[in-house]
Amino acid sequence: MVGYLYEGGIFKEFDSPFGIKSTPDYNRTNLRSNLDITLSKNLTVGVILGGRLQKRYQPSGLQSNSFSYDNVEGMISRILQTPSFAYPIMLPDGRIAQNPSVGTNIWNPLAVLTRWGTRNDDFNAVESTFNINYNLGSLVKGLSFKANLGYDSYFNSTTRRNANWAAYVYDRRTGDVTLSPDRQRDEPLSGLLVSYDGRISSNLQGGLYYNRSFGKHTVTALALGTRQLVKSPGSSQTTAPPSASQGVVSRVTYNYDNRYFAEFNAAYNGSENFPIGLQYGFFPAVSAGWTITNEDFMKDISWLNLLKIRGSYGIVGNDNLSIDGTNQRFLFLENYGTASGGTSFNPAWSRPNNGVQFGNPNSITNNLVSFISSVGNPNITWEKGRKRNIGIDASFLKESIRLTFDLFDEKRTDILTARQSGLQTYGEIYPRLNIGEVYNKGYEIELDYQKRTGQFKYGLTTQLSFARNKVINRDEPQGRPEYQKQEGKRLGQFFGFVTDGFYDSQEEIDNSPKNLLGTSIPGDLKYIDVNQDGVITNDDQTAIGYSRTPEYTYSVTPRLAYKGFSLSVLFQGVANVSSNVILTEQNNGQQMYGIQLGRWTPETAATATWPALHSRGNPYVNYRLNDFILQDASYLKIRNAELSWNVPATWLKKAKISSLRLFLNGQNLHTWTKFRMYLDPENINLSNTSFSVQSLYPSSRIYNFGLNIQL
């Protein structure tokens, strides 16, 4: 099987003096093949091979740890943060304009697209699986041996070429044009800057499988061993060993007459991330079910087609260790470093920043000093989760109505988290400890209805899920007030200021708690003095809104069909979710948005929907996180819709076509939301809260028209 995809970019094509293409593009070719060979009556082998070749081009800027300008998303962020009134894009003679006074890194978006550089990513992947199946029924009926070996290789090459441009500052008052101090000359595309990244993984599984029925009894079982190695060489040769994990998995299931079901699972897994003696964890699980409608006493209830209750209980483990979103290895080991004079070798603590000094006073030599850069935790172990679930499956009225309901909860313990209390009595940075606890509970409901009246068919599928978590234990700094603690609140809970409208006058400001965060003026947000100490400080921040993870997810899908025509629409949405994305102060910019048209002024004080606007240099008291800035990011979308027609077979008979289906569909057709920014609340970047639009790619409304032909 071979597949090919081409996608163009969202930018227009502009002329570039350096030959830079401003329109990004993406090409992907997929290859996949399956081969099964029967070597004997009891022995079969198989090979599954897959591959992907991807080529992506993007107009590019510089690469930085703090900002991302070398991809399309970074370019979009530049455009979003540059006010249209900041400066003319080009001077009448074609020179690039700029205004350094607008803000930090607020560069000319046309120059960014056509004069900054290029980036080409070449990615290839090879995914392979080799399997063997040997029937051992001659020894034990129902017994077989199966083994799989997976070998995957991923490689990416990134080629960058940088450029630069001369920018000119236009003075609107005098008409003078001067060379910008930070963009003083044109620099054509440089030589190639190439970097590499890749990953190689292998996965071996092998074990015994058993499946046999004895009258009304059916028993299945397996005993499986696994081992996985992952090598990430990165851009240069490294001596780090592959990441390794291994374990043994077993499962036994029992079914009596399709009425009573039971299952037991057990896993004994080992991970390199823990010290000897703590590398392995035992994780059992048990489940049971009862199909009540298969009982004799239910036979006369014709309107009830299926009623099954089920439940499960189990323990799961997690060995993925991360600090601030970055995966870590060997946190049980101590790390060492060296430093000499003038080097601050442990920036987290105030230590002498020089090494050992030798020599006479007129000729002192600084010598290297060894130090502990991070303390290991010899007791680090698996994060564990206790999961419980109870559910019901039912169908009614000749299966025209189907219902699935699940109620679940989970308590996670031994979560790796930072130690924050008692730091003043310890001379090093605490290692991460398995002291965190989180409780999560919720439910899922799915209801489906379908009906047929003659040639007219219609149906409706609805789905609703709810999940809410609460931090049970998280070590927090001593002296932190209860209202600022994360314990007892949801993961990712926003903390900020509570507001009480706008200040209407200077007199009201003078008679209110003094705002030590900055100088307030009439029209500014009025913050509540939560701790009632007479002043507004960071100590008045408290829990506001929700988190970035929605608590509710729901969907509704109506369907209609008549004489070969069919129509379906998927409505999907989320609720109980918050976002703190406000672009006004991104990179100290001066961008303006439609939501600010309702700004406070003395004339609009009674109807204002936005705080008073300030000139540059204001301490931005209005834009500190608060319950006015924090937004409701709930939404309801028409996720997709499709209209199709199956051409009658009698029309196709002469053309020797088995079937012909025409379709028209669309994706992301409309969004209803209270989100005040023009961004799609679903696509907000969550990994960089300081620059929330840094990795933003706008949602696209997509339409497709096509046909499916079978000969």
CB 496 within 8 A of CB 626: yes
Provide φ and ψ at 278, rounded to 5°. Answer: -125, 10
> With 0-12 CB in 10 A as exposed, 13-18 as middle and 19+ as buried, what is 678?
exposed
Per-residue model confidence (pLDDT) at position 676:
79
Q: Give the mean model confidence (pLDDT) for residues 214-231.
A: 94
Torsion angles phi and psi, residue 43, rounded to 5: -125, 125
Quick check: 703 and 677 in contact, CB under 8 A?
A: no
CA-nearest of 475, 522, 468, 293 to 392 is 293
Question: Six-digit token pair at 53?
Answer: 């070749």
338 within 8 A of 368, measured Cβ to Cβ: yes
Give the containing element (helix H, strand E) for 557.
strand 552-562
Average pLDDT (535-559) is 95
Domain extent listing, the chain: 335-374, 492-710
Nearest to 593 by CA among 129, 246, 82: 82
Tokens 């509704």 sit on residue: 556
- Distance between CA 9 and CA 25 in Å, rounded? 5
What rounded mean pLDDT belongs to the chain?
A: 85
257 close to 292: Cβ distance less than 8 angstroms? no
SS3 at position 298: helix
Tokens of 83: 């006010």
Nearest Cα to Cα of residue 489 among 508, 500, 476, 478: 476
* Closest C-alpha among 631, 639, 289 to residue 463: 639
d(CA 243, CA 217): 43
Contacts of 593 (CB under 8 A, 6+ apart): 583, 584, 677, 678
**Strand, helix or coil at 654?**
coil
Query: What three-state secondary structure class fits 597?
Result: helix
pLDDT digits (tens, 9 = 90+) for 445-458: 999 999 999 889 99
Distance CA 638, CA 555 (A): 10
Contact 513, 536 (CB under 8 A): yes
Confidence of residue 418 (pLDDT cuts 50, 70, 90): confident
Neighbouring C-alpha atoms within 13 Å toward the C-beta of 635: 25
Q: Which residue has the tokens 């046999």?
A: 212
pLDDT at 65: 45
Tell which wins on pLDDT, 651 or 667.
667
Q: How far apart are CA 667 and CA 639, in angstroms?
A: 6
Task: Name which of 488, 526, 510, 481 is nearest 627 in CA terms.
Answer: 526
Q: Which range has highest mean pLDDT (343-357, 414-428, 668-682)? A: 668-682
Cβ atoms of 46 and 37 closer than 8 Å:
yes
- For residue 236, give every residue at least 6 positions away whose Cβ sits within 8 Å of its Cβ, in sequence order, or none: none
First to last CA, the chain: 18
pLDDT band per the 50, 70, 90 thresholds, residue 354: low
Tell me if residue 73 falls in helix, strand or coil.
Answer: helix
Q: What confidence score (pLDDT) does residue 351 get?
A: 47
Which of 271-291 are b and which e, b meaning 16 or more Cβ less than 10 Å from the residue's Cβ? bebbbeebbbbebebebebbb
Q: Which two tokens stand for residue 10?
A: 């969202």
What are the tokens at 113?
A: 């697209």
Q: What is the pLDDT of residue 476?
A: 85
List, for residues 278-310, the tens digit of each pLDDT value. Answer: 999 999 999 999 999 999 888 889 899 999 999
Burial readout 513-525 (b: 16 or more C-beta within 10 A, e: otherwise): bebebeebebbbb
Q: Give 427's DSSP letter.
A: S
Beta strands at 167-170 and 96-97: parallel, antiparallel or unpaired: parallel
pLDDT in tens, 448-491: 999 999 889 999 999 999 999 999 998 888 888 999 999 999 99
> In angstroms, rounded to a whole number, what is the distance separating the alpha carbons of residues 549 and 684?
12
C-alpha 703/C-alpha 661 separation (Å) is 17
For every residue of 360-417, DSSP letters joined together read -TTS-EEE-EEEEEE---TT---EEEEEEEEEEEEEETTTTEEEEEEEEEEEEEEEEE
Residue 325 near residue 687, CB atoms below 8 Å: yes
**Residue 635 · residue 548 · CB < 8 Å:** no
pLDDT (mean) for 244-248: 93
User: According to the model, what pLDDT value does residue 582 have?
Assistant: 64
Residue 180 pLDDT greater than 90, yes or no: no
Q: Rg for the chain (alpha carbons), in Å?
A: 32
586 backbone dihedrals φ, ψ, rounded to 5°: -60, 125
pLDDT of residue 478: 81
Half-sphere exposure of residue 596, counting CA atoms within 13 Å on the CB side? 13
- When mean pLDDT is compared across 148-162, 201-215, 274-288, 688-702, the lowest value belongs to 688-702
Distance CA 96, CA 82 (A): 15
Q: Which three-class secondary structure state does DSSP give residue 1?
A: coil
pLDDT at 346: 45
DSSP state of 503: -
Looking at residue 347, its pLDDT comes to 44
- Given a contact cutoff of 8 angstroms between Cβ atoms, the answer to whether 412 and 382 are in contact is no
Place of tokens 């003083």: 184
**How distant, in Å, are the alpha carbons of 200, 262, 350, 472 from that of 693?**
32, 49, 35, 32
Q: Is the pLDDT of residue 163 over 70?
A: yes
Enter the pTM of the model: 0.84
C-alpha 602/C-alpha 521 separation (Å) is 11
Cα(370)–Cα(518) distance, rounded to whole angstroms?
44
